[in-house]
Amino acid sequence: MDSVVNRRKPVIPVIRAADRSQHIQEVSAKSLELTKVIRLLEDPLTANLKERHLFVLKKLLKRSHVGFLLKELTGIAKILNICAEKVKDHPEYVSILNEALKICRLPFLKEKASDEVTYAQDVIEFLSHMGCLMRVSDAAVRQQIVESVKSFYSSVAPKQQPDGLQSTSPGYRLQLLELSDLAQTLLLSMATLKTQPAIKLQLLQTLQILSGSSDMNCALILNAHGAETICLHMNEPDPSGQVLFCSSEILWNLLERGRKDEVTAQLSSMECVVSLKEAFFHLLMNGFQHADLQLRNDLLVITTLIAENPNSLLIESLFAKQLMGLVTFPELKTQNPLVRNLKLSYSNEDLKMKKLLLNLLVIMSKDFSALQLYKEEQVMLALLTLVKPPAASSERRSGLRHWSSVQQEELQLQALATLATIAPLMLDNYMSCQGNACLLLLLDWCIGQDAFFGQGHGFHGAGGRGSKKAQMRHCIRVLRSVTSSGEESVNQDLCDQGTINQLLGVLMQMEASPDEEDDITLEIKSDIQLILSALCEADMHRKELFGSEGVEMTLHFLRKDSDKFYSGLGHNKLLLSTVDCVWSCVVGCYTTEDFFLVREGVSLLLDLLTWSPRCVHGIVLATLLELCDNANTPSHILSWRDDGGQTAPRLLLQLWRREEEELGVGRSQHGEITDPQRPILSHHQQENTQPPLPANRASAAVLEISENLRSKIYSIFCKLGFQELPGLSPKDYVTLSVVRRYLDFKVGEVWDEISRELSVDGVRPVSPDRESLSTICKIAEDTAKKVTAEQSSFLEQQEKENVSEEELMYTELKSHWKQLELTAKSWNDYVSKTSNYEILKEVKAERKKHIESSRPKVKLEAAAAHPEENFMGQVLAVETTGAQGPAGVKVTLARAAIRAAGPDHVEPATQDPEYFSTVSVKD
């Protein structure tokens, strides 16, 4: 065999690229040599030739000192396994294993680019075999294994490679490591390292690297119960003091990169909880360095995550009881031996521990046994002590260390946030500790004018920097949580202390503040209104205490600008809480209702109904419906008009049509009923083919009433009446006819549903019942047909009115155009007269002719029938001629004509005198 090895020696060192045929022959020689080495180690005839084995293996490793070929990994893995078996009896093979593992730190070599894909499975199996070498008890071998695995994640500078060979890509080995069993094998080998603490620490460091670099490695470790294994070994003797730290880091990696629920499930066993408890209290009592305090807090965070698992055994292991003693320390004096001699440094790490303990209270409050533990350890009293204002905090004697003002503020806010969850669950304990009085004192301090500048560093202090806004926010949250529980004793105690007037004052004071509104301010205002609603909802006396001041508050917020509804700051929540406050605090009390009506509250609700989204319509309509029980409300609703002159009935009918459109109810273009058998059935109900529901559950026809607005609109119309409603169009009357019969249609729908359910169940009613069902369904269908006929008559009447209006419009248009033509002609004639003299003369002549023709002809006819007669009138002059007798006198007379009197006779304005000839007057 030695002669064979020596003959092969000249071809081992390098592969020359002289020609392809020679290269193939050399590679075949190498493979053949590796096979013979394996045969040498396994052959029974040569299995005991230890010196020859070592000589050949050293030669083989010397040839591969720059790295193992991918194609040889299968053989190398087999050789390493054989050597691992021989180490038990022959320790001389340890050096071979160590040397081979050192070579494993180098990148693998490939001859062709395709070798990485071709031999991928061989690499996976080789890495798995590496982990199995941990069974060798020799410390040097185990150390080489973990160091080799750690070297995979460090950049190793490859040595100069022989011609024709290349190193694999840097991430190649890491990708295949995730597919191997190496991580699981290393984890399981921890049980064999109790006597080798140094190797154990290195192994933990390696597992820390594996778990922190790959999600798949974390999954492999968890599959081998890695979290439980690490936790159980974290408290073993450790001279270096690093085992606990590495174990904590591995658990953190598993929580962050693995499946959190699986990690907490593994850590929830009694053994793991006890191990965590021992580690935590060891660090609490003996840890003074900053790293120890951080590690203590990390273990507390892991404990908090375990508490989220309902199957955790924190209470059964007494870990929770011991932690409760820390929660009340140093606020309360305790006889707990664990904390009696505990001295806090009041550093930031101690502050974090205190805040983590308060957070743990919230997590564990889901368990009823934990609440009982809180009562025993006086947790509620400690929390109320923490929330007191700084001026009323626990006494601080000089010379004693205590929380700083910034730390005290963070603890105060954290305690308030904890109370918001715990107080509703422990109301008896809360009342016995006078929780309401404590919170109201804090609220008084929040609205006080004394100088206080909040730091706002913590999570719960957001938005409160430089003010008391954060304290007020969380104080109001606690009050909201305890009042919303509905416990009458708590609410009555608050009312007895004047909470209603106090909250109204706080709310209006905040509203009058010149500061700009933000999301926190709006949240506080909304929560105050919810508290008032919870206090006044079922008590008439409290509604009277709400009074006119409260009504003015609701009216103020109802007048808020509608443009802010979609601002994203919380104006929408504030508006909803305002409407809820009207419903709970105003409706039901005649004094507040009347004041609300007088101050035009109904108009504000209707205005809100016009611009608000559909999600608000339900509560607004419900509030209006409740207000309609007041006899004065319908008149306010009917007298309302929006900016466009629209009336409330028309608005309600528009909402009805919009609701039916969203529900998919069958309607014609003009709103008529299209299917008399399903006059109000929604599209969802028509497609619903689910089996009949049990008798103790409401059917679809009944549930539909509470899921849309139609029932509320119908009820409001029942209060307003269906006759003489102002401002309705024919289309509105068509819709109103359906609204008026809504209850009849709904009754028929329910009976039809009953009939279908009986048919599906195969139940045949007795003959009288079947006839009754048929009659009821027929009545509902006939009612729908009558409504359809009524709607058709409305539409026909509207059509006639439209035609009449159209004719009148065309007549007006014709008259208008005729007037325009006459005006244009008159203007043209005027222009012609002023521009052409001949035309002017013709017009003048025609005008005279027209005047003459227009004179009355009665005078001429009367003159012809009665000729004129002259008579002697007035003597104008007398002359003497000298003749004898009457002939000697000459008289001048005025003559007047006598005309027949007629109806159109007009006396002349003047009369010219007419002189007669001289006559002689004879005696």
Banded model confidence at residue 676, pLDDT cuts 50, 70, 90: confident
> How far apart, in Å, are the Cα atoms of 770 and each of 59, 775, 777, 779, 836?
102, 9, 11, 14, 98
What tokens does 137 get? 């008890």
Report DSSP state, residue 498: T
pLDDT of residue 629: 92
Least trusted range by pLDDT, from 447-456, 529-538, 640-649, 906-915? 906-915
Sign of the CA dihedral running 800, 803, 807, 812: positive
- Look at the block and give the residue holding tokens 């905090």: 393
pLDDT of residue 529: 96
Which residues make up the CATH 1.25.10.10 domain(s) of the chain? 427-644
Q: Comparing 722 with 36, which gets the higher pLDDT? A: 722
Q: Is the pLDDT confidence value at 904 over 50?
A: no
Q: In terms of Cα–Cα distance, which of 877, 879, 890, 883 is closest to 920?
A: 890
Q: In terms of Cα–Cα distance, which of 384, 533, 409 is closest to 471?
A: 409
CATH of domain 427-644: 1.25.10.10
466 phi-psi bin (left φ>0, alpha ψ -120 to 50, beta other): left
pLDDT of residue 51: 85
Report DSSP state, residue 673: B
Q: Is the pLDDT confidence value at 891 over 80?
A: no
Least trusted range by pLDDT, from 147-161, 321-335, 469-483, 636-650? 147-161
3-state SS, one letter per residue, for 868-904: CEEEEEEEEEEEECCCCHHHHEEEEEEEEEECCCCCC
| Percentage of the chain modeled with pLDDT above 90 | 45
Q: Is the pLDDT confidence value at 900 over 70?
A: no
pLDDT in tens, 221-252: 999 999 999 999 999 888 888 999 999 999 99
The mean predicted confidence, pLDDT, of the chain is 83
Q: Is the pLDDT confidence value at 905 over 60?
A: no
pLDDT of residue 451: 63
Least trusted range by pLDDT, from 220-224, 279-283, 528-532, 831-835? 831-835
Q: Give the DSSP per-residue string, 791-822.
A: HHHHHHHHHHHHHHHHHHHHHHHHHHHHHHHH
Q: What is the mean pLDDT of residues 826-836?
A: 81
Strands 869-880 vs 109-110: parallel, antiparallel or unpaired: unpaired
pLDDT in tens, 845-874: 888 888 888 777 655 455 455 555 454 445
Banded model confidence at residue 696, pLDDT cuts 50, 70, 90: low
Q: Which helix (H) or strand (E) holds 110?
A: strand 109-110
Task: Fill in the amino acid letter for 600.
Answer: E
pLDDT in tens, 739-797: 999 998 888 888 888 888 788 777 788 888 788 888 888 888 888 888 888 888 888 88
Between CA 14 and CA 160 the distance in angstroms is 12
pLDDT of residue 157: 57
Q: What is the mean pLDDT of residues 128-152?
A: 92
pLDDT of residue 755: 83
191 CB-near residues (< 8 Å, 6+ apart): none
pLDDT of residue 113: 87
| Percentage of the chain modeled with pLDDT above 70 | 85
pLDDT in tens, 545-597: 999 999 999 999 999 877 788 877 888 899 999 999 999 999 999 999 999 99
Between CA 750 and CA 743 the distance in angstroms is 11
pLDDT of residue 31: 46
- Taking 3-state DSSP, the helix, strand and coil percentages for the chain, each rounded to the nearest 5, stand at 65, 5, 30
pLDDT in tens, 321-339: 999 989 998 888 877 777 7
